[in-house]
Amino acid sequence: MSETRVLDFERPIVELEGKIRELKLLLAGGNADMATEIERLEARASELQREHYAQLSPWEQLQLAKHPDRPYTLDYIGEMTTDFVELRGDRSFLDDPAIVAGLCRLDGRRIMILGHQKGRNTKENVFRNFGMARPEGYRKSQRLMRMAEQFKLPVVCLIDTAGAYPGIGAEERGQAEAIAASLELMAGLKVPTISVVIGEGGSGGALAIGVTSRILMLEHAVYSVISPRGCASILWKNPEAEQTAAEQLRMTAEDLLNLGVCDGIVREAVGGAHRGLTVTSNSLRDALTANLDELCAMSVEDVVEARYQKFRAIGHIEGRSAGTSGG
């Protein structure tokens, strides 16, 4: 992995951590007088982290969600599952590396897991198409979801994409139809389904694997109908208004939990998932296990009906007709 990129709002904490490392080197060299100072600075660094990351702005949340060192789908699969066997291809055109999928075990439970996968460098990003799936990626997902239903396996989807790929080839091969077919299929799947936004969840590219019984979000993930840059280009004709759009879209985990779109927030390591993959993965595994225990205890009919009612309720505003009432 390349050298960690430091975001502007992370800099004071990173500089303090650098000072702590320097003092530890002095202490390793026999300077015992530094021990007290190191303890004081470590306590201060922890306090700064807790305070700052508890009150990030939507723009800062977006930056963390898109952080180049943030864990991706394969990182979580490797950290929190066992016996992963990747399954490829849509049996119609080809395999789409922007979505990885396969069978694995989560705390001993057999599941089908799939998710968007980005790259760490230019070569990987070209191969993974920056995590933007083409129609064959969604058709591969549909094929494997049907397989999961056939063998009565829960489905877990990890969402991390700016959106579906908008290229000419994708449109020629039916991008909109592939996404619509995914929505229809997931709405009626007769197995428990959970989606987790692990980074950025953008537009139909995210929703195509997000019509699930439960929707969870990592603490610093974002989920929106359009990317802030796309929104700024349409509304203000200026992509540089991205920060303003991020503030207006109500795309953070807290916002979406309050709006009833998200069912739960999974806490990340202090400073973001990229600063603690194991800590974040353990939190995610615990959340998935708890939700799967609940869903797997339900009958098939109740699972399907609960999913239907969940999406019917999204966007409902209590008393919205009161303003037009004549009484």
What's the pLDDT tens digit per position in 124-138? 999 999 999 999 999
Residue 2: predicted pLDDT = 43
Residue 34: predicted pLDDT = 64
Residue 228: predicted pLDDT = 86
Average pLDDT, whole number, for the chain? 87
pTM of the model: 0.85
What's the pLDDT tens digit per position in 252-278? 999 999 988 999 999 998 888 988 899
Residue 202: predicted pLDDT = 87
Given pLDDT bands bounded at 50, 70 and 90, which one contains residue 217?
very high
Residue 13: predicted pLDDT = 67
Of 69, 72, 75, 76, which is closest to residue 10 (Cα–Cα)?
Answer: 69
Task: Check if the beta carbon of residue 157 is closer than 8 Å to that of residue 116.
Answer: no
What's the pLDDT tens digit per position in 18-34? 666 666 666 665 555 56
